[in-house]
Amino acid sequence: MRPVAIGTATIRDVARAAEVSVASASRALNGHHSVTPATRERVLSAAQALNYVPHLGARSLSTRRSNTIGVVLPDLFGEFFSEIIRGIDRAAHRRGLQLLLSNMHGNADETALAIRAMRGRVDGLLVMSPEIDADVLVANLPTGLPAVVMGARLDGAGHASIVIDNHAGAWAAVEHLVAQGCTRLAHIAGPADNADALERARGFREAARALLGDETPLVLPGDFSEEAGVAAAGALRARGDIDGVFSANDIMAIACMVSLIEGGVAVPEKVAIIGFDDVPIARFVTPRLSTMGIRIADLGARALDRLIEAIDDPAAPAGEPDHLMPELLVRASSLRAGDGGG
């Protein structure tokens, strides 16, 4: 008996082989209780013999359920991307859901397109839009398709959202630097159109003013990239008076730190540095990087949880945004005095 082609038979073939109607075949295959054990057996073994694999596309069309979640992400940096997907995937996997992925490279038109392309293929949408113009995004969300937005505050948009408390995180970072004895602080900023970055910068400014009485603390431009970190290091060396740096993300913090050290500036003795994100790399650099840790995978998992709720009860109100408070992780790059916490 030669092996039979896989995933080639339809439910009609199975029904025919089992000598029942397609309806009964369907019921047996889906474990409905209204089938005689005998027929179920016949159907199941026919399916097995024919190597039947259900056509999920057809099923979704008929049930109006795809068991698939659409994930729309911007171009993310390495670790962040994989971690968030990992979180979503784990949660999705537990529930037997599949993930339809769509990176939005750049402009708004493409984003709109990406979202529209999900129509009829997903039960809900998980979108992440750190860019400031989350409105474009929301304006394109198909009506009636549950969605939760990650990383952007969308007041009154009617969609659930889950955001990182960047402001509080920045404040905590500054607080820590000050506790370490730093008095001349600088911030390496993120992209100007990035909501997270702006909040971090705002938190930095306010904390510097409140804690140090510094009305115009130094803010170096940046864009979350390695190069920006190196450039910042250059600027810091040129000035020579800064003793504490809070970077808007880890990548820039690390690049800056490495560059500083290679330029002969002692970290943390001369300059203490703290980042934001806690990418896995942070623990591998020397000195290990202090940072405001976000459990990125948790962000994804929680977003999916909220999405499931929204799917299960579409009528429920969106509710307040979930806040994710970053955690201060004190490591060597900012540790000057005794023990300093963490």
Partner DNA sequence: CTGTTAGCGCTTTCAT
Partner DNA sequence: ATGAAAGCGCTAACAG
Q: By CB under 7 A, name the binding residues for DNA.
A: 10-12, 19-24, 26-27, 29-30, 33-36, 38-40, 52, 54-55, 58-59, 61-64, 120
Stretch that binds a copy of itself, among 12-20, 26-34, 141-149, 182-190 (CB under 8 A): 141-149
Nearest one of 125, 161, 159, 129 to 323, comparing CA atoms: 161
Q: CB atoms < 10 A from the CB of 39, how many?
A: 17
When the beta carbons of 148 and 218 are compared against a copy of itself, the nearer one is 148
| Nearest distance from C-beta of residue 312 to DNA, angstroms | 16
Q: Which residues contact 87 (CB under 8 A, 6 or more apart)?
A: 296, 297, 298, 299, 300, 301, 304
What is d(CA 249, CA 197) in angstroms, rounded to the nearest whole number?
Answer: 8
Q: Which does 140 bind (CB under 5 to 8 A by kind): a copy of itself, DNA, none?
A: a copy of itself
Kindly write down the DSSP assignment for every residue of 294-305, as one continuous string.
--HHHHHHHHHH
| Nearest distance from C-beta of residue 225 to a copy of itself, angstroms | 12
List C-alpha distances in Å: 216 to 10, 39, 150, 182, 241.
70, 79, 31, 16, 15
Phi-psi region of 264 (alpha: psi -120 to 50; beta: other; left: phi over 0): left
Residue 98 makes contact with a copy of itself by CB under 8 A:
yes
Among 102, 249, 290, 334, binds a copy of itself (CB under 8 A): 102
When the beta carbons of 77 and 184 are compared against a copy of itself, the nearer one is 77
CB–CB of 90/36 below 8 Å?
no
CB–CB of 21/15 below 8 Å?
yes
When the beta carbons of 117 and 235 are compared against DNA, the nearer one is 117
Among 285, 299, 304, 318, binds a copy of itself (CB under 8 A): 285
CB–CB of 324/294 below 8 Å?
yes
Site for a copy of itself in 164-203 (CB under 8 A): none
Residue 280 makes contact with a copy of itself by CB under 8 A:
yes
Extract the runs of DSSP E, i.e. beta strands, from the chain. Answer: 68-74, 98-104, 124-128, 147-150, 160-164, 185-188, 218-220, 244-247, 272-277, 290-293, 322-324, 327-329
Q: Which does 309 bind (CB under 5 to 8 A by kind): DNA, a copy of itself, none?
A: none
Q: Which does 337 bind (CB under 5 to 8 A by kind): a copy of itself, DNA, none?
A: none
- Which stretches of 19-152 are DSSP H helices? 22-29, 37-50, 56-63, 78-94, 108-116, 134-140
Residue 144 makes contact with a copy of itself by CB under 8 A:
yes
Stretch that binds a copy of itself, among 12-20, 35-43, 74-82, 194-202 (CB under 8 A): 74-82
Residue 8 makes contact with a copy of itself by CB under 8 A:
yes
CB–CB of 11/21 below 8 Å?
no
Alpha-carbon dihedral 254, 290, 187, 336, rounded to 10 degrees: -110
Among 157, 233, 255, 274, binds a copy of itself (CB under 8 A): 255
Among 22, 44, 108, 117, binds a copy of itself (CB under 8 A): 117
| Nearest distance from C-beta of residue 33 to DNA, angstroms | 6
When the beta carbons of 199 and 278 are compared against a copy of itself, the nearer one is 278
Among 61, 192, 210, 325, binds a copy of itself (CB under 8 A): 61
Q: Which does 143 bind (CB under 5 to 8 A by kind): a copy of itself, DNA, none?
A: a copy of itself
Q: Which residues contact 210 (CB under 8 A, 6 or more apart)?
A: none
What is d(CA 306, CA 242) in angstroms, rounded to the nearest whole number?
Answer: 43
- Interface residues with a copy of itself (CB under 8 A) are 5-8, 53-61, 66, 68, 76, 78-79, 81-83, 85-86, 89, 93, 98-103, 105, 116-121, 140-145, 254-255, 258, 261, 280-281, 284-286
